[in-house]
Amino acid sequence: MDYDAMDGLEDIGPRVTVRQALRDRADFTLENIDLSFANSLRRTLLAEVPTMAIDLVEVQVNTSSLADEFIAHRLGLIPLNSKNVDDVSYTRDCEYCEQYCEHCSVTLDLHARCTGDEIMKVYARDLVVAEPRPNEWVGTPVITDSLGLGSVICKLRQNQEVRMKCIAKKGIAKEHAKWAPTSAVGFEYDPHNRLKHLDYWYEEDPEKEWPKSGNAEWEEAPQDGEPFDYSAQPSKYYFDVESVGNLEPDAVVLQGIKVLQQKLALVIQELSGDDRNGDVDGFGGTRSPDGMHGGDYGMDQGYTTPFGNTGGQTMYGGGTTPFGATPYG
């Protein structure tokens, strides 16, 4: 089967222009690509780049004023270093355990007790990473403030204590926002609205009521009375990727492109009729640890659904919906 390249772009090729690169932010432009691909990359950066986050919390002692579930939720939202996260296996794919182990998780211990009269704050820095772990980076709490404290977990009064064992696992934001690698992904094209994809609502003057963004300086403004080109297509896109700190912004983009490659490889594999048990070039695809692709929920108590422990099963039974069977069985 032949796959035609995008019209007019096969001889030019994509082009990337980095406008600003910071520790937690990358501002760049993509040119000579299709709108659908640019939007796919945006969606992938938001929801399908794998990271590490605390997913299981074993509460041993908690005499604080906050409920166990409240603290567990706050722990899950603390960003953890996810450098070289490919070294970590998904729990559902781990060959060494049924729930968690050093190959598919990172253990962090939290123990704090207030012995003074003043209120004591418990910070992310108080999380102690236990060894061994898949590599020397994954699982370390991300601390960016000048005092080196990190996020506040809870507050303790005199004689109050918290002691918890936290299990961090690999996942994607499509399953839960705690695995999100980005806090925001800015995306814009055609800042002058030359293509008329936007219909501005205005009272008197749209130019004054809808000021142009800074990206408009990177393109030539349309001339007054310029005829509309009905065949014009966008070819330049402006990205502003802001990382939460678990991955550097350039690593987020590279991982997003890798995920897209895996997805496209699976599509081509299905179209060509080549069946390798869903593993394309050894990638295996990027998925969340909930087993939504047929994993075994019973293998991991952290991802058990209220509908039973038969992986891939919904409340309607098996791979079915109220409208009948799905293409996934």
Distance CA 256, CA 227 (A): 38
In degrees, rounded to 5, the angle at the alpha carbon of residue 86 between the alpha carbons of residues 243 and 53 is: 50
Is residue 6 predicted with pLDDT exceeding 80? no
Helix orientation angle between 249-272 and 35-47, rounded to the nearest 10 degrees: 120
Residue 65 CB coordination number (10 Å)? 11
Per-residue pLDDT tens over the stretch 52-105: 999 999 999 999 999 999 999 999 999 999 999 999 999 999 999 988 999 999
Distance CA 165, CA 250 (A): 32
Q: What is the mean pLDDT of residues 181-191?
A: 95
Say if CB 302 and CB 166 are below 8 A apart. no
pTM, two decimals, is 0.75
Pairing of β 324-325 and β 320-321: antiparallel
Q: What is the residue-averaged pLDDT of the chain? A: 84
Q: Can you give the pLDDT at residue 183? A: 95
Q: What is the mean pLDDT of residues 159-177?
A: 96
Residue 233 has which token pair? 């297509």
With bands split at pLDDT 50, 70 and 90, how would you rate the model's confidence at 287?
low
Residue 213 CB coordination number (10 Å)? 13
With bands split at pLDDT 50, 70 and 90, how would you rate the model's confidence at 275?
low
Q: Can you give the pLDDT at residue 225? A: 83
Say if CB 170 and CB 90 are below 8 A apart. yes
With bands split at pLDDT 50, 70 and 90, how would you rate the model's confidence at 199?
confident
Say if CB 114 and CB 156 are below 8 A apart. yes
Is residue 205 predicted with pLDDT exceeding 80? yes
Q: Can you give the pLDDT at residue 296? A: 43
Q: Can you give the pLDDT at residue 163? A: 97
With bands split at pLDDT 50, 70 and 90, how would you rate the model's confidence at 206?
confident
Q: What is the mean pLDDT of residues 237-257?
A: 95
Q: Which residues of 92-107 are buried (b: 16+ CB within 10 A; e: fewer)?
A: bebeeeeebbbbbbbb
Mean pLDDT check: name the lowest of 1-15, 258-272, 297-311: 297-311
With bands split at pLDDT 50, 70 and 90, how would you rate the model's confidence at 279?
low
Is residue 209 predicted with pLDDT exceeding 50? yes
Is residue 277 predicted with pLDDT exceeding 50? yes
Q: Can you give the pLDDT at residue 298? A: 39
Alpha-carbon distances, residue 231 vs 186, 194, 228, 293 (angstroms): 26, 12, 9, 40
With bands split at pLDDT 50, 70 and 90, how would you rate the model's confidence at 307?
very low
Q: Can you give the pLDDT at residue 241? A: 97
Is residue 146 predicted with pLDDT exceeding 80? yes
DSSP 170-184: EE-TTT-GGG-SEEE
Q: Can you give the pLDDT at residue 223? A: 86
Q: Is 302 exposed, middle or buried (0-12, 13-18, 19+ CB in 10 A)?
A: middle
Is residue 47 predicted with pLDDT exceeding 90? yes
Say if CB 324 and CB 300 are below 8 A apart. no
Q: Can you give the pLDDT at residue 224? A: 84
With bands split at pLDDT 50, 70 and 90, how would you rate the model's confidence at 276?
low
Alpha-carbon distances, residue 254 vs 41, 249, 261, 287, 322 (angstroms): 10, 9, 11, 17, 38
Contacts of residue 152, defined as CB under 8 A and 6 or more positions apart, other chains included, come to 121, 122, 123
